[in-house]
Structure 1
Amino acid sequence: MTTTRKAAAGTQRRAAGVVLLLPALAAGLALGGCQLSAPDSATPSSATSPSAGSTVKTSEFSTLDAAGVETIRSTGAARLDMSSGTLVKESVQVTQDSYGPEINTRGAGKINLTIVAPSGEITGETDRIRFNTTDKRPDFSEVTYFLTASSAEEYFALIREGVQRYGIDEASAERWISSTESDPEGKSDFSITSGTATGLDVNYDLRYDGGKDTQVIIVHVRPAA
């Protein structure tokens, strides 16, 4: 019995010491400017934050507003969406009454232009892109760009590429090439019969002058009839 009472007395003394220690500890923390606080459940952690793991989603296609044109100029690349068969003004962020920009980078390098068609793509390196429409149309009636070549051989190769890729009339193209080869110093303005292999009407309008260093093809891309 004596041993039990001694053990109980020791337990009571330790408990009293703990009770006395807690107020002293709290006072010490207050004097030291420290404060105990629970985590704020309203503040999201890195795992639950809405921005955790977020990504920026951007369109793969170019726009034709001022910012979009500047991006085309600075990057040297333009990608237009005519997969529906037409280029809608709203989709390139211009108003319905807009006539569209003219993008000219002559002397500053060429633009890698891609037009996504209903079937395949129309591509070219160009330093001039134009858009035709009216202020009443919701779309552009035509996209025009310029291809250039520094020799007759390069020029003929561009024409044959258009025949192969876009379905431009081969017989018409070869007749013109044959005629020009027989008179390489001559001049000729000739529109080859359009091709529609991509689901768009692609026309090569030839501007050839054998007396000049640069030969030009004006490419017209229109909705297919």
Structure 2
Amino acid sequence: MEEQHSEQFKEYIAKADGLLRQRKYPEAAMLLKRVAALFPHVAYAHYLLGIARMKWGLLFLAQQSLEKADELLPNHSEHLRSMGWLKVLLGNLEEGRKYLREAISRDLTNPNAYMDLAMSYFHYFDFAEGHKWLDIAKSLAPNNPLIQEQESIAKEVEQDFSHYSSKQLEKMRTEKLDPDIQREFRVSLVEHAMNDKHEVSKEEILEIEEEFRLQGIRGTLARSA
């Protein structure tokens, strides 16, 4: 029976991975929600659900999933890295960077943790600190497409904002962390993920409504399916 469940789990994960690679984040998240219910004691199911929810923009629900994964398999470097980046997306910079540094300390050879830490600085206009961590990521994986993509984003951000004074950058950093701005950002993440969908399922709508409830946003979405 365990072997049968193992094969079933692998099939589900392969399908979910395919959806994630196609950037079909809502579909991947809904599939992985079922997988996590079928395999509640498997940390990877909750971890991957957290990743899918994060990419969908459901950050509060993603946090629940990643916390469950870490409960089942404590202090795994990838759990820490993902939680760190999630905290950065939520505007909890110091907490997020603490998670990312812990992930690095547990796996010194993972370039993605260095990259995430670097981008946490670039997105908040600390370019010198960002370069320090990005250079390490590049040295570990110079041909990694994801790191090359993030380096391009970092260069673009630096080019757009490096002419501002330190005082101006600090003001923009404070404004970016304003709770109202953060709330608008989180809503925009969900909207962006749904833009390419011709039809939103009832289950997806309920998931979004639960996310908004956790965020303290009232109201319901019109049913489109």
The two structures have a TM-score, normalised by structure 1, of: 0.29
Which has the greater radius of gyration? 1
- The alignment's TM-score, normalised by the length of structure 2, stands at 0.29
The structure that is strand-richer by fraction is 1
